[in-house]
Chain A
């Protein structure tokens, strides 16, 4: 690995984070933020960073296909940049984090990992902070609209490799940015680990759309921590697709800091076989008059397991809050397990809040309806299961991104017995 010069504030932060990582206790039984979790999944012994770029990276670049039209595209293999292409307009900084740390040192410093991780993974956030070497840094000026998405591919290659991908996006006044992160493994058999962090800060009246596609191989684990903040009249959307990994933990925290701001938190998860997805969310209404809407959908196959724990937290004084939270579980086998913990903490009034959670299987009536129209039962189940996820995907409101997400969803169904029936 080549030695890279880092600003001193960054090395100091990394050293402090390392000390924090070592001193913070590991999650244990009885921790509310790890309720129902399988703590055995947190044994990360034996993983190490890879030294240098693996030889087959050209092939991975070729496989890094996403949306047709991008504003910028980066491909990382084991946190090393192997491909970059960018056509962003003036007023936009869109660089690999390692480069931005040198060229836009103060700008990165002003925004880098500002929020406290409070959904259980503070230890792993500290680990990430102490180890992070690369990722994406986007900062826009005011009134800039990006044409096409910024697309980032993160590959894990080689056995027992850990990566620490980082995404930091800051939008200026009235600007518009869309970012897509795609996490994949180079092969199906090498165990890997990703400790990913994405930090999204939507400036006044701006629009920030973020999509994460997690399609790692089924012997890889991932912890993905998201922190989103919205300024006055800003709108942020975070979408997570989980089709891969043996175990995935998502922690999503949205802080609604400005009046009139909006946060949409969306997720589609399709676990099968022995896959486990553990998702924790927090809708924090700091300012009055903000809106947040969460929709998480899980389709569970085989012996899979999901955990959803969400909290709407309305601060004192955050009146006229609208906050919604819905988690729906479609149970496609008699051995799957869905855990839901939808929570509310309201300290203000003139508030409209609701949450709903359901767990159910496809009803016989629905199959009967489709059979009466000449569709065989297997196909009928496939259609209903797909339609269940599509409802969330449509909320992305961007045909190119929707198409990309559906490609991964259909690929997953193709790898489930009966095509997802």
Chain B
């Protein structure tokens, strides 16, 4: 087949494949909000949120201060995409809730909320393999429950509001410490209007065998979701936390801007798994960072399939000796999508090691970007970093960029960075077709082969789901 002809065909078919998949999260229920902060953001909005949530005074001050930082900071368009200028902060609604407390049982959850999460398969997954679930609907959690024996062991798994009110002595010392308000414009915005998200505390030596899960759902048009998550794993504790997210496809763009802070104390281990599948008019601007003390490990396992623009660079500050940081990332960018993802590794103690493996796939006119930062200061010794980023281009107008920045001071460290860009070759497809696969199956197999070693890093139930998702995205993507 001539080259141009085959690519023209690819686009149309790919487009169809996208539409098939999006339907899973693309449904909406009528709004039924008791509390609505209205459109736009001002000091009044902050006070409204504080009043509804009955925030303590220190939180109110924290929010007001953050609002000022947000207003003062310019959008980072000198290095990031100009698409950020299309976010109209005056049209967004910053707080929506029905005023109900999160329920401990699915039976008490309002029927349309229950149906939403049923359709997304959450209660089923909870029964099958989860230690606890929190399900957030717009600004607040609708459901929050955890296995009873964990409560007995002293594990705390609540939403952020409950965390800051009922567990202030653990919550407050770490809140906003890993990611200060002024870290960037969008972390400041989150600090001003945050609502929902999880607060988790795992006591010394407690190792959770099953993961905890949070699911974030946007149901209202022009709504901005700003959840705030803080996870603290005390000495020797272990936890895996998974988050998923979807939104229906509205006419206007929606904003999701979360802040996630992880604290792994001595010898602790935190794994944070994200499968992001927002509809593709969501701006997803997320700040995620972990702090790893001596012998601790923080792993970010990140998969971005949805959204219009995602900007997310999970980071690890390795503050204790022999701490370890890792980011495993898969991004799939389709037409109309820009996945701008990466990793930030800050070495702040001797013998710390970090690893970044990033794979991206650009389909149709999609654009995938990797941005990374690795920093090893002078006074340390024995630090190591490995960075690998590979990009796969499916169509002739797909786009991929890589912008790493690596600083090494002193000669007692080792870093290596490698990146490659390639595409599924005609020969490879031809070979597989010879063996009886149709072209779509062949493409899907090639793409799955490209990310297979990373998919295995996800919990089993997720990796099956992921493979299926990618199969769907690729279905019929070639003639």
Contacts and interface: CB of A to CB of B under 8 A. Distances in A.
Interface in A31-80: 31-32, 35-36
A337 B423 contact: no
B79 A32 contact: yes
Interface residues of A, number: 39
B393 A349 contact: yes
Interface in A195-239: none
A36 to B, nearest CB: 7
A351 interface: yes
B418 A356 contact: yes
B411 A341 contact: no
B205 interface: no
Interface in B413-429: 413-423
B455 to A, nearest CB: 23
Given A342-B404, A349-B423, A334 B399 contact: no
Interface string B18-38: 000000000000000000000
A405 to B, nearest CB: 25
B363 to A, nearest CB: 11
Given A332-B411, A337-B408, A354 B421 contact: yes
B421 A359 contact: no
Contact of B421 (A30, A35, A342, A353): A353
Contact of A338 (B3, B398, B408, B422): B408
A361 B384 CA distance: 12
Contacts of B422: 351-352
A363 to B, nearest CB: 9
A343 B401 contact: yes
Chain A CB within 10 Å — which of B3, B409, B411, B422 has the most? B411
Contacts of B413: 331, 359-360
B409 A342 contact: no
Nearest to B367: A347
A346 B391 contact: yes
A383 B233 CA distance: 50
B396 A349 contact: yes
Contacts of B432: none
A146 interface: no
A289 B70 CA distance: 47
B403 A343 contact: yes
B416 A357 contact: yes
Given A32-B79, A347-B397, A348-B396, A356 B403 contact: no
Given A336-B411, A351-B423, A357 B396 contact: no
Interface string A303-344: 000000000000010010000000001011111111111111
Interface of A: 30-32, 35-36, 316, 319, 329, 331-361
Given A342-B417, A344-B403, 4 more contacts: A339-B405, A341-B406, A349-B7, A360-B414
Q: Ordered nearest first, which 5 A-B pairs have the shortest CB separation?
A: A331-B411, A344-B402, A361-B411, A359-B408, A353-B421
11 contacts: A32-B78, A329-B408, A334-B410, A336-B409, A338-B409, A339-B406, A339-B408, A343-B401, A344-B400, A346-B421, A350-B3
